[in-house]
Amino acid sequence: MNTSGKRIFIVDNEPELTDVLKIALETLADFRIRTENDPGLALAAAKEFAPDLIIMDIKMPGLDGADLAVRFQAEPALSETPIVFLTGTVTEPEIVRHGRHIGGLRFLPKTMRLDAMVTCLEGILRGGPENLADGAAESRAA
């Protein structure tokens, strides 16, 4: 499966981060990106965008990523869409040690190299392996 043109929806309350990720993911992998910095508006925006994958921060003001994920999964149009949490509170070695899953949910660190993130996202979109080498955190994603 070619992942070029796949739609990725990013929710994070930090516009600087979503701007960097949007530019990088569109450039490095030809993904179609939509971002939302207000978690309260994310559900409506995601339903309109119909993403192939959702990336969201865990800690956001008002509505955190876990609560938002429950809302996404309750929507028939989004219930099967993979969700990946982006977090600054868990390190790359911790995530790799757990096979990129914590509590059954996928996590990526905000400190991940952008090329490594693209590789991981492509793996998720293909439904295949998504684990990366331990050296993936050498430089910050944003």
Per-residue pLDDT of the chain (142 residues; tens, 9 = 90+): 678 899 999 999 999 999 999 999 999 998 999 999 999 999 999 999 999 999 999 888 888 888 899 999 999 999 999 999 887 765 555 445 444 544 456 778 887 888 888 998 998 898 854 443 333 333 334 4
DSSP state, residue 102: E
What is the per-residue pLDDT for 107? 77
What is the per-residue pLDDT for 87? 79
Fold adopted by 7-137: Rossmann fold (3.40.50)
CA–CA dist 78, 109 (Å, integer): 23
CA–CA dist 126, 53 (Å, integer): 11
- The tokens describing 61, both together, are 């003001």
What is the per-residue pLDDT for 89? 63
What is the per-residue pLDDT for 10? 97
What is the per-residue pLDDT for 93? 52
DSSP state, residue 30: -
What are the angstrom distances between the C-alpha of 57 and each of 18, 40, 66?
A: 10, 13, 9
- Domains of the chain, residue spans: 7-137
